Amino acid sequence: MIGYLEGQVLQSSETKLILKTSDGVGREIFFKETSQKEISLYISQVIKEKTIEFYGFENFNDKSFFEKLLSVNGVGPKSAYSLMTNLGVEQLCQSIALEDVKTIKKAPGIGPKAAKQIILDLKDKIANEQFTFRAPGFDNEFNAQNSIVNEAVSAFKELGFQESLVHPLIKASLENGSFNKSEDLIKDVLVKLNN
């Protein structure tokens, strides 16, 4: 399997580029349009019945997350890549943790059913693995593993609050403040609920 390529960009369009590597071979790779003449990319190789497709990423974390998306039932490589290019790992992790279907389905080709399936299949995985994202309002990297958001969501479920009610308030709290403990986030959201 090819996991990394570097070389000369021969052509670049909105969704693909042709990369000429040192062996003289020009490979077609799904990647956003770029003006760079030389580029190095982490590659996810998707083997289909009649074709082999290459999807390019600027860092290993993005490649790993793309491959997690491919494990979701009903999400193919083009839909997964659409999510990656339109939302990115940070926003995807946050949306999955908050079970934010509305944001996930903003990506072309992702409907409500697929968005719910992504949340169902990946919520526990991102809570247990090292996918990091910088949530709005945080000065340092927020790691899904330290589960401040997940703990707050669980607490509100136990208190009997509907997720559709608390998710926007949690998002608003994250955008406006910095929280080191889930208790502080919960208190902030409770204040909003009582206003």
pLDDT tens, position by position, 144-178? 434 677 778 778 878 888 777 777 788 778 777 76
Taking each helix axis from N to C end, the angle separating 163-176 and 182-194, rounded to the nearest 10 degrees, works out to 110
Query: Is the pLDDT reported for residue 17 higher than 90?
Result: yes
Residue 70: give its domain's CATH number: 1.10.150.20
Q: What is the pLDDT of residue 140?
A: 43
In a domain, 178, yes or no: yes
Residue 116 makes CB contacts below 8 A (sequence gap 6+) with: 101
Q: How many CA atoms lie within 13 A of 179 on its CB side?
A: 26
**How many structural domains compose the chain?**
3
Structural domain that includes position 81: 61-130
147 or 101, which is more confident: 101
Query: Is the pLDDT reported for residue 74 higher than 50?
Result: yes
Instruction: Give SS3 for 116.
Output: helix
| Whether residue 52 is found in the same domain as residue 73 | no
| Whether residue 2 is found in the same domain as residue 38 | yes
pTM of this structure = 0.68
| Whether residue 126 is found in the same domain as residue 154 | no
Q: How many CA atoms lie within 13 A of 73 on its CB side?
A: 5
3-state SS, 130-159, equals: CCEECCCCCCCCEEHHHCHHHHHHHHHHHC
In a domain, 139, yes or no: no
In a domain, 136, yes or no: no
In a domain, 41, yes or no: yes
In a domain, 142, yes or no: no
Residue 21: give its domain's CATH number: 2.40.50.140
Q: What is the pLDDT of residue 132?
A: 47
pLDDT-based confidence at residue 93 (cuts at 50, 70, 90): confident
